[in-house]
């Protein structure tokens, strides 16, 4: 027997139903901090340094993200030989 239940609710309602905290003030502050940090950036190197400081695991997180993107892009190309 298969039972399907569709729930129509907003993300905020779902978080409240599951008992998860409302982190929107923290998210808003994080976004404001990031946007304020972009003021005065004039080069790609400065932008890369900024993103590395915001990434959760620093350089390791950035390398992992780059590897995931490379694998995904190589997969779109059709061959596994494309992955470096």
Domain ranges of the chain: 11-82
pLDDT tens digits along 9-58: 998 899 898 899 988 899 899 888 878 877 777 777 877 777 777 666 66
* SS3 at position 63: helix
Instruction: Give 73's pLDDT tier (boundaries 50, 70, 90).
Output: confident
pLDDT value at residue 68: 83
Give the residue from 51, 81, 45 showing the smallest Cα distance to 66: 51
Q: For the whole model, what pTM was predicted? A: 0.41
Residue with tokens 């976004």: 31
Mean pLDDT of the chain, nearest integer: 79
């Amino acid at each position: 027997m298969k039972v399907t239940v569709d729930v129509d609710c907003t993300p905020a309602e779902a978080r409240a139903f599951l008992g998860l905290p409302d982190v929107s003030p923290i998210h808003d502050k994080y976004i404001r901090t990031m946007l304020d940090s972009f003021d005065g950036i004039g080069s790609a190197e400065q932008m890369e340094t900024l993103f590395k400081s915001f990434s959760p695991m620093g350089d390791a997180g950035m390398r992992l993200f780059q590897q995931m993107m490379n694998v995904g892009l190589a997969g779109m190309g059709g061959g596994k030989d494309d992955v470096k």
